[in-house]
Amino acid sequence: MIGIISYLCMPLLKAYTPYSEHVRFFWYFSAITPCLLLVFSWFIFEENCRIPIWMVVLVGFSLLASLWFQFTEAGLPGSPIWLQMLKALIAAMAIFVVWRGRDNDLVEMRAKLRNIFTLLLALLIFIVFWVEVLTDFNPPLELAVMTGLVIFVFSFTLNYFLIKLNPTARLISLPVPTPAVSDDPLMRELLVKMRSERLYADHDLRVSTLAGLLNIPEYKLRKKINQELGYRNFNQFINNYRIEEAGVKLREDTRIPVLSIALDVGFRSISSFNSAFQAQFGVSPTKYRAEFLSDN
């Protein structure tokens, strides 16, 4: 919110107030708004996932570059084109983060919010970018105010849906339950099929695939997995089975390579397997196996 408020205030501050340290403060926070947006999007739409190294590097570099250009005389009143392009790239990454998880989201309202967020944010970035480019990053006051109003409407709409979706304002949800049974006949059938037919071992398993097996609409299955079993993300649901079987294989047959186990239980890569395994057991698969062998 600080970044958005700063971005909205900047045209008026630049037009009606003399240069001061206070104006410089607003300049900086308006410059790092894309970074704040990317981190915000990650916590909302990639819940319980650690921030990846690439995001830390990208955001960190942008923050430091903006800090240098905004707090030195050389950097005022504007920023170089490469820094503007970097901010556009970071904003585009926020769109990618929101859009890529749409197939696995089991929270109905948040899944709808992804489409709204993606559409509005893409439109917003397009408008802001071209306004700045066509005016050589120094738009007239009237145009800057109009752009600011567009940003305000976008922010208001987004926050309205976020509050409706998440009244508790909790950005990161608590760990999901992993029930083995359900009172719902449809869910009991699903849980039986998951284990007896090892459906989770399919690398390409999707909600639509399970919906077809159970002969129900996809939206209905999403809602039931979310409400009956407590999962907010489809990957959390199937990875629970994968990690459980992987743990057994790591303990029972120490000759099988970790990579072979990861691929056999349904993971596409060793990195995704390691991340999911460590999230559930607190240690890497290799260390888990080593600790089991040392205890026995």
Give dist(CA 294, CA 296) in Å, integer.
Answer: 5
Per-residue pLDDT, 136: 65
Give dist(CA 230, CA 55) in Å, integer.
Answer: 29
Per-residue pLDDT, 255: 87
Q: What angle do CA 97, 91, 93 make, to 5 degrees?
A: 30
Per-residue pLDDT, 211: 93
SS3 270: helix
SS3 31: helix
- Consecutive sets of 10 residues in the chain, 296 residues long: mean pLDDT of each? 53 54 60 80 76 87 80 56 81 88 83 81 75 66 64 68 56 49 82 92 92 92 88 89 93 89 93 88 90 79
Q: Name the token pair of 166.
A: 């998440």
pTM of the model: 0.70
Distance of CA 45 to the CA centre of its chain: 4
Per-residue pLDDT, 27: 62
Per-residue pLDDT, 138: 63
Domains and CATH numbers, the chain: 2-165 (no CATH), 185-295 (1.10.10.60)
Q: CA–CA distance from 246 to each of 13, 61, 166, 199, 267 (Å)?
A: 58, 38, 34, 15, 10
Where does 148-217 show beta strands of DSSP type E?
none
Residues, the chain, total? 296
Per-residue pLDDT, 246: 94
Per-residue pLDDT, 295: 74
Where does the chain show beta strands of DSSP type E?
none
SS3 105: strand
- CA atoms lying within 13 Å on the CB side of residue 61: 11
Per-residue pLDDT, 46: 79
The four Cα atoms 131, 133, 136, 142 give a dihedral, to 10 degrees, of 0
Per-residue pLDDT, 179: 54
The answer to whether residues 110 and 165 touch, using CB atoms and an 8 Å cutoff, is yes
Per-residue pLDDT, 10: 56
Sorted by sequence, the CB contacts under 8 Å of residue 95 that are 6+ apart come out as 118, 121, 122, 125
Give dist(CA 151, CA 141) in Å, integer.
Answer: 15
